[in-house]
Amino acid sequence: MCKVLPEKCGCDEGAVMKEFMTGNHAIAHAVKLCRTPLIAAYPITPQTPIYEKLSEWEASGVLKGIMMRTESEHSAMASCIAGSLTGVRTFTATSSQGLALMHEMLHFASGCRVPVVMANVNRILAAPWGFWADQTDSLSQRDTGWIQIYAENGQEALDTVIQAYKIAETVYLPTMVVIEAFFVSHFMETIDLPDQDAVDRFLPPLDLPHRFDMDKPGYLIPVVTQEWYREYKHRAFLAMDSVKEIAVKVDREYREEFGRGYGIIEPFMFDDAEVVLVTAGSITSTARVAIKSLREDGYKVGLLKIRLFRPFPYEAVRGALFGKKKAGVIDRNISIGSGGIFCQELRGALSGMSSNPLIYSYIAGIGGTDVDVEIIRKVAFDVMKRTEPHDEAIWVKEDF
Amino acid sequence: MDLPEEHPNLLRPGHSACAGCGLLITMKLVLQAMGPRTIVVVVPSCEAGSAGVYPNTCFAVPSFHSAFEIAAPTAAGISNALKIQGRTDIQALAFGGDGGTFDIGLSALSGVTKNNDDIIYVCLDNEGYMNTGIQVSSATPSFAWTGTTPAGNPGRKKHIMDIIAAHYNPYSATATIGFPRDLQRKITKAKGIRGTKFIHTLTPCPTGWRMPFDLSPDVSRLAVETNIFPLYEVEDGVRYTINHEPRRLPVEEYLFLQGRFKHLKKEEIQRIQKDADAEWDKLQYKAHRSTVNST
């Protein structure tokens, strides 16, 4: 058992437990706090500790429910979809190859409009083989109709899983909570564990429509006409679009209850910044340190963290970057043939805006390579010295 | 005596299967024996293809058209969710075609059977990818013509019953429409057992087997009487019971009714006969051993 240090948190909602744990275990705790009764999973590094921890709690009876130990991630997602359609809360976790194997079922889940919640621990996709942090696995799934939220650390991952259920169950869309391999999944930090009663208040017992009505039998997911297919997708699109507002609302409610909130984007030392760096995930934490040091050196540099990736928060990003001169996007991912994926999205969001900042794309941290404070400072200086548009991605390697 | 054949028909009119489809008759018999407290999972195949296009369907029980390779884990997900909700009087029934069972869904079915999730899995085996227009599957018998084996299938039919039995699941059985009471008795029996139940049904396909539309029941009976498809049950993967003593007719009587075998040479027919005889001997041995072990 972890060491427990009870103390009072900012809100006056009773004792808050603090425990020292990994990002993976923080996610497992969140799933337990959400009283998720149906979990289906398959092992893959670096996600496996989530599966193991939840299995341990299922075996000891701490977690009331059923752990389905499936023979593949594909079947795990199939079982989550089926369980959700039957009307229970479901969870799975995966990484990399496992997520890629699930691809077919990811489209199926959003098409079935099931609020399945999944944790994905970003790991490189083979070939070649490796286990290291790289966001390309989840970003490759951006068109599957899943809500995607990128968490910076274990605490945010825990809080985001709880928020994810509330968002997913409001709009009936599946939600992926994403952390990076090892930097977050295995890194240990002190985590505030919310009080169970408070989580129960925040996330009342699930009341999903029972899609299998024994008294009024229907045929779910039939073959449909072209027009009906278009209608399904249009409705899912509108539901996804509404997440931009709902995620903000849920995050605000969460902050009121638990004293922590993150926003769908987070500006840092931003308002008077002339040059902005844009990050997502764990690089953000390092970037905070780099930005502070640049400020101490007298540079007007700010940071914009993107937390919600699907739906992409176009309006929020435009609002934040309006009037800024230049921005450099740091991507720990790559769309070969195009560039950094967050950068693509950002450029898409800003096109057509009357006062566009110049956007530069930096590929850094690919394959789990380290992105330290010095590298981020170098990126900032590179942005500062540039005056002309530059479309191509800039690879940040040893010779950068 | 309560006969399932007197229960309400839960396959409503209006399906879009071919005339004389053995698969639809099987589904009707299975659903009649299952009764209304059933949730049906179908996957892309003739079973889903004939179930209707929105807003029409032939199912009179709640049903779900899931993805191709996941009939078993879908039914298992439903079954476990029902257990969590305390609704244990409802049973999850998965229909998989031979492609969805022998080929693309085998790993998923194996996973569920290994976990012994509480489902009834009915494999509707028409011995090929008929929904996509007659292509070879690993359930296609030796030398049979299909669109992708125009010179005859060079492979042998996979022994799915042996594969499932190797999981030591509580109950498996073979059944076919030519013996409807046997089929419905097996479904009724499966309903009373907790865990993964597997029913392998041979479902004659007039379109794909290249035979007249009124022959499905006759061909089904001949499959059993020639020992091409013996009727038996397996309990816990080890106890075998033969349900019908076949007349041991020559395999030609089964083969000659079907256009898919019309090109067969004498030695190929002999080979099919030899394989059927050997399989029957093996089955008899297992059934005999089961009797000896239980006494």
Cα-Cα-Cα-Cα torsion A255, A259, A264, A267, nearest 10 degrees, comes to 130
B54 interaction partners in chain A (CB closer than 8 Å) = 219, 222-225, 228
Half-sphere exposure of A233 (CA within 13 A, CB side): 10
Among B53, B77, B107, the residue with its CB nearest the CB of A81 is B77
**A226 in contact with B at a CB cutoff of 8 Å?**
no
Q: What is the mean pLDDT of residues A73-79?
A: 98
Angle between helices B71-84 and A73-86 (to 10 degrees): 40
Q: Report residue A146 as tokens.
A: 């899943």
A237-277 confidence digits (pLDDT tens): 999 999 999 999 999 999 999 999 999 999 999 999 999 99
B63 interaction partners in chain A (CB closer than 8 Å) = 217-220
B78 interaction partners in chain A (CB closer than 8 Å) = 82-83, 85-86, 212
Interchain proximity B52–A219, CB inside 8 Å:
yes
Whole-angstrom distance, CA of residue A92 vs CA of residue B73: 14
Name the residue in chain A with its Cα closest to that of B117: A68
Look at residue A10 and tell me whether its pLDDT is greater than 80.
no
Q: What is the mean pLDDT of residues A275-286?
A: 98
Interchain proximity B108–A68, CB inside 8 Å:
no
Other residues' Cβ atoms within 10 Å of the Cβ of residue A85: 29
Whole-angstrom distance, CA of residue B250 vs CA of residue B228: 10
Contact yes or no for A326/A357 (Cβ under 8 A): yes
- Mutation target to probe the B interface, by most B beta carbons within 10 A, among A36, A63, A67, A71 is A71
Whole-angstrom distance, CA of residue A277 vs CA of residue A267: 10
Interchain proximity B117–A68, CB inside 8 Å:
yes
pTM across the whole model: 0.96
Whole-angstrom distance, CA of residue A67 vs CA of residue A49: 14
Residue ranges of alpha helices (H) inside chain A are 23-33, 48-60, 73-86, 96-112, 136-139, 154-171, 196-202, 226-258, 283-296, 314-321, 341-350, 373-385
A301 min Cα distance to partner chain B (Å): 50
Tell me what pLDDT residue B273 has. Answer: 98
Tell me what pLDDT residue A7 has. Answer: 47
Which portions of chain B are predicted below pLDDT 50? none
Strands B171-176 and B196-202: parallel
Other residues' Cβ atoms within 10 Å of the Cβ of residue B293: 9
Tell me what pLDDT residue B32 has. Answer: 98
**B163 in contact with A at a CB cutoff of 8 Å?**
no
Strands A265-268 and B91-97: unpaired
Look at residue A2 and tell me whether its pLDDT is greater than 60.
no
CA angle, A184 as apex, A178 and A189 as ends, to 5°?
Answer: 130
CB proximity list for A294: less than 8 A, separation 6 or greater: A301, A377, A380
Mean pLDDT, chain A, integer: 95
Cis peptide before A127 (omega within 30 of 0): yes
A116 min Cα distance to partner chain B (Å): 13
Tell me what pLDDT residue B295 has. Answer: 63
More reliable by pLDDT, A16 or A355: A355
- Mutation target to probe the A interface, by most A beta carbons within 10 A, among B84, B110, B115 is B84
- Mutation target to probe the A interface, by most A beta carbons within 10 A, among B12, B57, B59, B70 is B70
Tell me what pLDDT residue A354 has. Answer: 81
Name the residue in chain B with its Cα closest to that of A73: B108
Cα-Cα-Cα-Cα torsion A61, A65, A67, A68, nearest 10 degrees, comes to 150
Instruction: Say whether the ipTM exceeds 0.90.
Output: yes
Other residues' Cβ atoms within 10 Å of the Cβ of residue B166: 12
